[in-house]
Amino acid sequence: MSARTGYDVIVVGGGPAGVSAAKAAAREGVSALLLEKYPTIMANKPCGEAVSKETLATAEVKPSPRIVMHEAYALVYSPSMIEVEIPQIGYNINKSLFIQEIAAQAAEYGADIHVREEVTSVARENNHLLVRTARGVYVAKVLIGADGYNSTVARGLGVAERPEPIPTVQYIMANCRLKHPDAVRFYLGNRIAPGGYAWIFPRSERLAEVGIGVRGGVAKEYLDRFVSLFSDELGNAKILDYRGAPVPIGGVISETVFDGAMLVGDAAGHVIPLTGAGIHSSVAAGLAAGKVAAKAVLEEDTSKQRLSEFYKLYDGWLTRIRKSLKAMRALEKLSDEDLDTLAHVLKADDILDLANGLDVARVAKKLLAHPILAMKLARSLL
Ligand SMILES: Cc1cc2nc3c(=O)[nH]c(=O)nc-3n(C[C@H](O)[C@H](O)[C@H](O)COP(=O)(O)OP(=O)(O)OC[C@H]3O[C@@H](n4cnc5c(N)ncnc54)[C@H](O)[C@@H]3O)c2cc1C
């Protein structure tokens, strides 16, 4: 590589946000480079891999059997194991193949993709950003930081703020005897998972992702305790994979658009707080950022003001993230007894609206009619 290689748009990080950003930028006809530090574009971080059907539509990825490992409805459990069924079908995907499919689209639109090339620093020079890797220095007209929670790009841009994280750990377990092989299960409660939840997401009848997110405790200890509650299903299971990572659940950080640069995905806090789901919102953020970046380059105006069109394109998601955060803040104050009461009152649609930051006001109005939940929950949701 020459001392400095220029690109219109450089995207750092080959996760769901980064591959989507590279694809969207290249589709607009500008030169785009995707840099990924690991040797493979794939799900390099642990993930439950559960998504809505709409996620694949947003990503323009066909729900082929190669990518959709399993279709599942959902079961949500209160601390006393009151079960609420959510019949809507979602997907457990092979996230690596999903990301690779989007990366392939990016390549077909002309994006360059470099794996095993970690960005070590980012600096400003005049109107451009210099992106330094072990192989050399690149110059970007617009730089998109899609490099996850510990974003090097954010640091290089002088962003000290980080989205509030919840530590998570997850096992992939084999030889399970799942009672509900066609359901993703969520378990709530301060005894089970304070400030978060535990999950069992089947990949097949015998293989499952079993994980937990916990605030104010050691996630691994809570996970082992959770697994031991299911000796009939998980007693003979063997752990094939044990990894953890922080999930940014505190909402979007104050500034994600700068002169010549944007942050997207986990790096920006583009995660639905109550569920910790970030695949769909990251893909959407990447697509919006890549498109805006390319248009800005073509118009020769990569100022912060021009790139702020991102906020307009992503507004629906920003609203959902805000509403889901509000619901999370209200729910985290509830005792286990209150959560049990809630499980008697909420129906599937209510849970979906609350968790996904959709019609939270409708659920709040419904809860206003309840003698206890009106005071404890409804008012803070409104
Ligand atoms: C245990 C766990 C379970 C989860 N389960 C789900 C789920 O079931 N459904 C859901 O929707 N979401 C889930 N999430 C959240 C989801 O995984 C993330 O929100 C999503 O992957 C964020 O995408 P991203 O592209 O922003 O970041 P990431 O997926 O973190 O990708 C960032 C990429 O940047 C690369 N990178 C980092 N630094 C550099 C650098 N300096 N130079 C070059 N490359 C770099 C990384 O290697 C990585 O490939 C889960 C998260 C965890 C931790």
165 ligand 1 Cβ < 6 A: no
**Ligand 1 proximity of 132 Cβ (cutoff 6 Å):** no
Q: What is the pLDDT of residue 369?
A: 85
48 Cβ below 6 A of ligand 1: yes
Q: What is the mean pLDDT of the chain?
A: 95
350 close to ligand 1 (CB < 6 Angstrom): no
CB 42 within 8 A of CB 67: no
Q: Is 282 in the pocket of ligand 1 (CB under 6 A)?
A: yes
Q: Which residues contact 234 (CB under 8 A, 6 or more apart)?
A: 173, 176, 210, 227
What's the gap in Å between 15 CA and the centre of ligand 1? 6
Asked if the model's pLDDT at residue 271 lies above 70, the reply is yes
CA–CA separation, 228 vs 350, rounded Å? 31
Q: Is 155's pLDDT higher than 60?
A: yes
Task: Single out the residue of 48, 18, 15 nearest to residue 211, CA to CA.
Answer: 48
Q: Measured between alpha carbons, how far is 222 from 69 in angstroms, rounded to an integer?
A: 27
Mutational pocket test of ligand 1: of 70, 114, 282, the residue with most ligand atoms within 8 Å of the beta carbon: 282
Pairing label, strands 83-93, 50-51:
antiparallel
278 CA: nearest ligand 1 atom: 19
pLDDT at residue 205, rounded to an integer? 86
**The pLDDT of residue 140:** 97
- The residue type of 58 is T
The pLDDT of 342-366, averaged and rounded, is 92
Return the structure tokens found at 266: 């986990």
Instruction: Walk me through the domains of the chain, giving residue ranges and CATH numbers.
Output: 4-46+96-163+250-313 (3.50.50.60), 68-93+165-248 (3.30.9.10), 326-381 (no CATH)
pLDDT of residue 272: 97
**Would you state the pLDDT for residue 109?**
98
- Tens of pLDDT along 361-379? 999 998 888 888 888 888 8
pLDDT value of position 8: 98
pLDDT at residue number 265: 98
Task: For residue 219, report the distance from its CA to the centre of ligand 1, in Å.
Answer: 19
**pLDDT confidence band for 197 (50 / 70 / 90):** very high
Whether ligand 1 lies within 6 angstroms of the CB of 273 is answered as no
Query: pLDDT of 84-134, one tens digit each?
Result: 999 999 999 999 999 999 999 999 999 999 999 999 999 998 888 999 998
Position 2 pLDDT exceeds 70: no
Ligand 1 and 37: CB distance under 6 A: yes
Average pLDDT over residues 330-341: 93
> Residue 189: what pLDDT?
95
Contact 130, 138 (CB under 8 A): yes
Percent share of the chain, pLDDT over 90: 90
Q: Is 156 in the pocket of ligand 1 (CB under 6 A)?
A: no
The band of 381, judged by pLDDT with boundaries at 50, 70 and 90, is confident
Model pLDDT, residue 380: 83
The mean pLDDT value for 39-58 works out to 96
Is the pLDDT at 3 greater than 80? The verdict is: no
Whether 263 lines ligand 1, by a CB cut-off of 6 Å, is no
Question: Is the Cβ atom of 16 under 6 angstroms away from ligand 1?
Answer: yes
The whole-angstrom separation of Cα 183 and Cα 136 is 48
Query: Among residues 186, 217, 182, which one has the least CA distance to residue 203?
Result: 182
Distance 146 CA to ligand 1 centre (A): 9
**Ligand 1 centroid distance, CA of 91 (Å):** 18
- Centre of ligand 1 to C-alpha 245, Å, is 9
Q: Judge whether residue 13 has pLDDT over 60.
A: yes
Over residues 34-47, the mean pLDDT reads 96
Helix pair angle (348-355, 360-368), 10° resolution: 130
Q: Is the CB of 363 under 6 A from ligand 1?
A: no
Reported pTM: 0.96
Looking at the CA of residue 38, tell me the nearest atom of ligand 1. 47
Burial readout 42-70 (b: 16 or more C-beta within 10 A, e: otherwise): bbbbbbbbbbbeebbebbebeeeeebbbb
Is the distance from the beta carbon of residue 46 to the nearest atom of ligand 1 less than 6 Å? yes
For 162, the 3-state DSSP assignment is: coil
> Quick one: tokens of 299?
């118009």
Tell me the per-residue pLDDT of 217-249, one tens digit each, with 9 for 90 and over.
Answer: 999 999 999 999 999 999 999 999 999 999 999
| pLDDT at residue number 188 | 96
For residue 303, is pLDDT > 70?
yes
